[in-house]
Amino acid sequence: MRFNVGGPILCCAFTLVAGWVAGCGQRPSSASAEDGSGSRTEWGPVVSFDGTDISSNPCESGCEARVCGLDPVCGESCGRCPTGQTCTSQGTCCEGVGPVVIDSVGEVENTSLGLDAAGRVHISYRAASGGLKYATNVSGQWATTTVDSVGPAHPLGSGMALALDAAGKGHIGYYDSTNSMKYATNASGVWVTTVIDSEAHWVTSLTLDAAGQVHIYYGGFEGNLKYATNVSGAWLIMTLDFAGAGPSGSFALDSAGKVHISFHTCVHTIKTVDCHLRYATNASGSWVTSDGLDSVGMWGHSSLALDASGKVHIGYAGPDSYSLKYATNASGTWATVKVDSDSLWGTSTSLALDAAGKVHISYLDGDDFDLKYATNASGTWTTKAVDSAGDVGEGTSLALDAPGKVHISYSDMTNGTLKYVALCPE
């Protein structure tokens, strides 16, 4: 095959495998082409693995014959991958995982999943009979350990959150049966636990700033939200004046270290309970709280993430049968959309953004008690059941690795196990 350097390059990539040549896109159907200057480009046949000429339409006819990759001419991704892997829309081979059982420990109340820089999985979870536990596949095999033998969770749900530092060490905020908010870390090489606040009801969210300092968002005795951080070297506790806040919410730090919180408040009357999703931030230097962004169920859970521009994305339980809804201010004003009308249950919603700013949410379908997954990565919202084997999906947590694979931890209430699944990007 010869290319005229001065002429247009119509087929920009090919792969040589044991004499096989695979084209990357459409080219002239004739055996040669003229570039307008009198010179001609001679084309050889584009063939598949079995030697079939696929010159007429290599993007379609030759798709399964090619190695998985993006076709710059067709704008498609297709091709062959090793056994057990699929060719994703990003043009990469990906192997999904599970669902797999990580720990058979009895009722699992909450899970929180994080990924280190190498894409290895770390999960903290609360077991009704086994206390606060931690699982990881850093060694290539799943290993579990007990971090703290705390008592049973609060009836409203204890909450528990994990974040990883740059070294892949774990930091966990959690609530125990003595009404204490506690913090655990293995940064020293062994797990060390500390009581941060002896007057707490639940812990909802924990994150680390760029310097690796800890920020924890949780609930106090009087229904107020509380915020603890060790940025000064000692623990500082603040009570946020958001009276009536429910026991489920989420928060994140922006690039400037400012706090963004989603939560809900409820107004009780004799006959009704009126609950609304709310948002608060100190990005301006003082706390600013939004009016109700949307109605939510009484125990509606929310999960918040920030995109690269600092815009807010929230997945939450709507008011009508606790449907899955999504709110964002990415356009400059708040907009909400119903993603799935199937009901949610408890505190099972987890949202994360991929590198392109697309949304990924894991949640529990409270009608069928299935673990479900929703994303707008294709440009429109799609939902699917991930695990339907029994009562599964409670306490779910989701994170994405650099290639875009979706990692989800969750509880199997039927069998009393911690489960994990990894989904290839669609």
Do 11 and 64 have their domain in common? yes
Instruction: Name the band, by pLDDT with cuts 50, 70 and 90, for residue 67.
Output: confident
55 and 127 share one domain: no
Between 49 and 180, the more confident residue is 180
Minimum mean pLDDT among 65-79, 318-332, 365-379: which range? 65-79
pLDDT above 70: residue 43: no
> Does residue 161 share a domain with residue 69?
no
Of 75, 95, 115, which marks where a domain is finished? Answer: 95
Q: What pTM was computed for the model? A: 0.81
What pLDDT does 45 receive? Answer: 39
Residue 29 and residue 150 in one domain: no
- The pLDDT-based confidence of 365 (bands split at 50, 70, 90) is confident
Domain check: are 54 and 66 in the same one?
Answer: yes
- Distance separating alpha carbons of residues 359 and 377, to the nearest angstrom: 7
pLDDT higher than threshold 50 for residue 296:
yes
pLDDT of 368 higher than 90: no
- How many domains does the structure of the chain reveal? 2
Nearest to 125 by CA among 172, 166, 180, 167: 172
Contacts of 380 (CB under 8 A, 6+ apart): none
**101 & 91 share domain:** no
pLDDT confidence bin for 32, thresholds 50/70/90: very low
Task: Assign 63 to helix, strand or coil.
Answer: helix
Residue whose pair of structure tokens reads 């590198």 in the numeric block = 355
Domain end residue (candidates: 95, 127, 156): 95
- Taking alpha carbons only, the member of 202, 146, 195 closest to residue 175 is 202
Average pLDDT over residues 341-353: 78
Residue-level pLDDT at 51:
45
Within this chain, do residues 10 and 50 fall inside the same structural domain, yes or no? Answer: yes
Confidence label for 245 from pLDDT (cuts 50, 70 and 90)? low
- Model confidence at 5, pLDDT cuts 50, 70, 90, reads very low
What pLDDT, on the 0 to 100 scale, is given for residue 103?
93
40 and 149 together in one domain: no
Choose the final residue of a domain: 31, 66, 95. Answer: 95
The CATH number of the domain holding residue 205 is: 2.120.10.10
pLDDT at 128: 75
Whole-angstrom Cα distance, residue 210 to residue 165?
9
Q: Are residues 130 and 175 in the same domain?
A: yes
CA distances from 67 to 23, 26, 63, 95, 198 (A): 10, 16, 8, 15, 58
Please tell me which residue, 214 or 14, carries the higher pLDDT value.
Answer: 214
66 by DSSP, 3-state: which? coil
The answer, yes or no, to whether residue 21 has pLDDT greater than 60, is no
**Stretch among 137-141, 292-296, 338-342, 399-403 having the lowest mean pLDDT:** 292-296
Q: Residue 30 to residues 9, 112, 408: CA-CA distances in angstroms?
A: 15, 58, 50
Same domain, 90 and 182: no
Domain holding 158, by residue range, is 97-423
Average pLDDT in the 346-366 region?
88
The verdict on 186 and 281 lying in the same domain is yes
* Contacts of residue 349, Cβ cutoff 8 Å, sequence gap at least 6: 301, 302, 303, 315, 316, 317, 324, 361, 362, 363, 364, 396
Could you give the CA distance from residue 128 to residue 113 in angstroms, rounded to a whole number? Answer: 18
Given the structure tokens 């300092």, which residue do they identify?
213
Q: Are residues 75 and 207 in the same domain?
A: no
Q: What is the pLDDT of residue 302?
A: 87
